[in-house]
């Protein structure tokens, strides 16, 4: 099948590479000439395990190409995926300008009967707007599909190749047939393809992310209460998660959620609800709780060092919003770093993958360490923001020798409080007794 993917960000690049891997002829198009030039040379602009191998192999075998000629990519396609960005607008709603621009181009340049798939995360009603934009210029029949993505950054390739479900909102039997054929190789183990109407598919993506964000914020607020009443959130989490009606996923307390999906999608769903006069009070509270949570690491740091951060050097382990990605969008590390700098402190940071992104965002306002231990040299405190594997079992004696003061703020509850206390550390974590 001839597939074109418009947009080569996190979603578009993974979609294109994975569809090529199953034998389709895929063209990924983007107006960013520098990005396309790099991709042709197998330079991947994001850190995503396994993606570089897929891109290189499928380019070598001729199934995957990259182009800046969007009209040509549209003309050759049987199926076009729209995978461009939908950043939040000033009111929190999704900005659909890029999506609708692509829809306009599809209508002007389509060369055959076409299935148009919205892969970008978009609010309910977007497919109708896409259809109207295409129809304004189209001379050939087309069909619409909403195919929300459920890819976790850091595991996106595995999530696409081995999905737990595929959600497809379609407007015709033709679209249903084409999309069923396209996704058949990915559901051979019996995982479901769930067909539904387009508005329901559009809502499913937002509802899923909103539920996960709610679990995170709920557990973070429970952790804060645990600290006040002397309970241990690790034990509470195990007790709650063992209930089959609840389950253990997304119940780990931390510094707040970030990334490209949860913050943006919660804001967009709240904005959609307000526009339709059906406010989502729970989600409004989830968003407010997450913003409060991002400030807690700095609050714990201030408490542990006696309230005065000015003149202190703070080591930060982890800059990306989660491990196995270089994505710093809405990362709690940014909130922490800005707070330390505003208070007159200095920051030396380490991250296995996100240093280049941090340099783009923060420049020389902070210092960067080649290793996690190097970041500790002469620091008055360490704050752990991201739970990269290499931070889980460090040499504590080496840490203590490198730090000026043995202060550790653990935003991911990686270590046992009793052990750190016995080693002479001032240790603070999330929702556990000191």
- Separation CA 232–CA 261 (nearest Å): 30
Which residue in 88, 432, 92 sits closest to 260, CA to CA?
A: 88
Q: Residue 159 in 3-state DSSP?
A: helix
Q: Is the dihedral of CA 167, 169, 173, 174 positive or negative?
A: negative
Expressed in angstroms, the distance from the first to the final Cα of the chain is 59
Backbone angles phi, psi at 410, to 5 degrees: -100, 100
Q: Which of these, 148, 155, 119, 144, lies nearest to 210 by C-alpha position? A: 148
Q: Specify whether 261 is catalytic.
A: yes
165: which 2 tokens?
């479900």
Catalytic residue (choose from 18, 226, 261, 302): 261
How many helical (H) and strand (E) elements, i.e. helices and strands, does the chain have? 17, 14
DSSP state letters, 61-75: TTSEEEES-HHHHHH
Helices (H), 76-197: 97-109, 126-135, 156-161, 173-183
For residue 342, give every residue at least 6 positions away whose Cβ sits within 8 Å of its Cβ, in sequence order, or none: none
Two structure tokens written together for 124? 């309910």
- Compute how many other C-beta atoms are within 10 angstroms of the C-beta atom of residue 426: 16
Alpha-carbon radius of gyration of the chain:
23
State the angle between helix axes of 126-135 and 97-109 in degrees (0 to 180), rounded to the nearest 10: 30
Nearest Cα to Cα of residue 353 among 40, 16, 90, 49:
49
**Count of CA atoms in the C-beta half-sphere (13 A) of 252:** 12
> Of 341, 351, 406, 392, which Cα lies nearest the Cα of 374?
351
166-170 vs 142-146, strand pairing mode: antiparallel
Task: HSE, CB side, 13 Å, CA atoms: give it for residue 194.
Answer: 15
For the annotated catalytic residues, the residue numbers are: 261
């Amino acid at each position: 099948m001839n597939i074109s993917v418009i947009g080569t960000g996190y979603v578009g690049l993974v979609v294109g590479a994975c569809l090529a891997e199953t034998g389709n002829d895929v063209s990924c198009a983007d107006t960013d000439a520098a990005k396309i030039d790099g991709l042709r040379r197998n330079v991947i602009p994001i850190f995503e395990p396994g993606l570089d191998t897929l891109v290189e192999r499928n380019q070598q075998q001729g199934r995957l190409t990259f182009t800046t000629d969007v009209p040509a990519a549209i003309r050759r396609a049987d199926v076009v995926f729209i995978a461009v960005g939908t950043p939040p607008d000033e009111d929190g709603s999704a900005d659909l300008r890029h999506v609708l621009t692509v829809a306009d181009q599809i209508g002007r340049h389509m060369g055959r009967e076409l299935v148009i798939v919205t892969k970008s995360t978009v609010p309910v009603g977007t497919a109708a707007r896409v259809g109207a934009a295409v129809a304004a210029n189209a001379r050939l029949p087309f069909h619409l599909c909403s195919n929300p993505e459920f890819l976790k950054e850091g595991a996106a390739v595995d999530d696409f190749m081995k999905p737990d479900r595929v959600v497809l909102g379609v407007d015709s039997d033709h679209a249903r047939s084409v999309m069923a054929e396209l996704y058949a190789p990915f559901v051979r183990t019996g995982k479901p393809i769930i067909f539904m109407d387009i508005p329901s598919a559009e809502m499913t993506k937002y509802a899923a992310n909103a539920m996960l964000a709610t679990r995170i914020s709920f557990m973070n607020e429970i952790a804060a209460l645990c600290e006040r009443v002397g309970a241990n959130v690790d034990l509470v989490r195990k007790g709650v998660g063992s209930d089959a009606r609840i389950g253990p996923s997304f119940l780990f307390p931390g510094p707040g959620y970030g990334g490209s999906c949860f913050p943006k999608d919660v804001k967009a769903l709240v904005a959609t609800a307000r526009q339709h006069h059906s406010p989502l009070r729970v989600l409004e509270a989830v968003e407010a709780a997450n913003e409060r949570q991002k400030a807690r690491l700095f609050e714990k740091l201030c408490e542990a060092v006696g309230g005065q951060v000015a003149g202190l050097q703070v080591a930060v382990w982890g800059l990306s919003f989660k491990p196995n990605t270089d994505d710093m969008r809405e990362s709690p590390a940014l909130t922490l770093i800005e707070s330390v700098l505003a208070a007159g402190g200095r920051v030396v940071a380490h991250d296995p993958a996100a240093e280049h992104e941090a340099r783009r965002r923060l420049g020389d306002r902070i210092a960067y360490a080649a290793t996690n231990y190097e970041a500790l040299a002469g620091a008055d405190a360490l704050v752990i923001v991201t739970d990269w594997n290499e931070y889980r079992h460090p040499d504590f004696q080496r840490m203590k020798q490198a730090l000026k003061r043995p202060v550790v703020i653990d935003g991911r509850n990686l270590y046992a409080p009793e052990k750190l206390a016995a080693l002479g550390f001032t240790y603070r974590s999330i929702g556990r007794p000191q």
